[in-house]
Amino acid sequence: MQPPDRMTDADRLVEIAYAKVNVALHVRARRDDGYHALESLFVFAQDGDRLEAQASDDGAIDLVIDGPFGGGLEAGPANLVVRAARALQSYLGDQRGAAIRLTKNLPVASGIGGGSADAAATLRLLARLWDVRIEAGELAGLALELGSDVPACVASVTQLVTGRGEHLARHAVDGLEGMPMLLVNPGVGVSTVSVFAGWDRQDRGALDAGSFDALIAGGRNDLEMPAMAVAPVIGDVLAALAGAKGVRLARMSGSGATCFALFDADEAMARAADAIRWTQPGWWVMETRIRRA
């Protein structure tokens, strides 16, 4: 088997770990099991981290990490890519192996599902690589054991997500898929645990995802305020996005610190991205669009 840094195009399979964005995130209650009861509309960018893999028959899972944000991750057994590979091995009951390269294009601990998307992409990638036949329900069970957002990231399509993330329903919203989307992170990572701990436990009502207008008017992210208490610069990002010409919606994703803005036109998104890059050269900016099913 060739090592990950010497794989050729003919040897490898590739998957994209699409960035996850919460268009709205309503926290309804803290559950008895310690998780939170959520209602959220997940969309996925057409871009994200990149994984590639080559099969081996020695049972080893070898991971190499590179990319602009690769330095923030360890490639050991706690990495979600390795954990996902081991979970699929355990399901199969044998020791098929793989050499995997993760190119980390998304910021770490940034509210856009980077680790969860990586785990989900690993499951998709190795299922193809190892020619695995697995029912959707069993795959979802493996994914949920890896993290609350992982099941939704397996399909990476627009979904209404409830419970702790285990209840998923494909949910098209007219005009949303394919929409230009700008992602901005101010260069800080925030702890999901800390942000949830700062939630005030006030139920502000159910999510109406029946239309884009309803998502704008009544949708919210209940973690914005506690996230800004941890990292006040998130407020600066939201202000920069909300003030852009042609923006339809600006909001924080997940537990932060990445925020997003949706636009009707690519040109408006490009102008906003250029302005932010000029005034805030230390911020991470990605121009993308919402992935179609």
Distance between CA atoms of 234 and 109, rounded to whole angstroms?
Answer: 14
Q: Residues near 151 by Cβ (< 8 Å), separated by ≥ 6?
A: 120, 140, 143, 144, 165, 166, 168
Distance between CA atoms of 90 and 86, rounded to whole angstroms?
Answer: 6
Q: Is 149 noted as a catalytic residue in this protein?
A: yes
- Selected catalytic residue, list 20, 47, 62, 118: 20
Q: Residues near 49 by Cβ (< 8 Å), separated by ≥ 6?
A: 16, 17, 67, 102, 103, 104, 105, 106, 114, 117, 118, 121
- Selected catalytic residue, list 47, 118, 149, 222: 149
Distance between CA atoms of 125 and 45, rounded to whole angstroms?
Answer: 18
The angle formed by the CA atoms of residues 212, 208 and 140, to the nearest 5 degrees, is: 95
Return the sign of the alpha-carbon dihedral for residues 223, 225, 229, 235.
positive
DSSP class per residue in 186-220: -S----HHHHHHT-----------SSHHHHHHH--
Which residues form the catalytic set?
20, 149
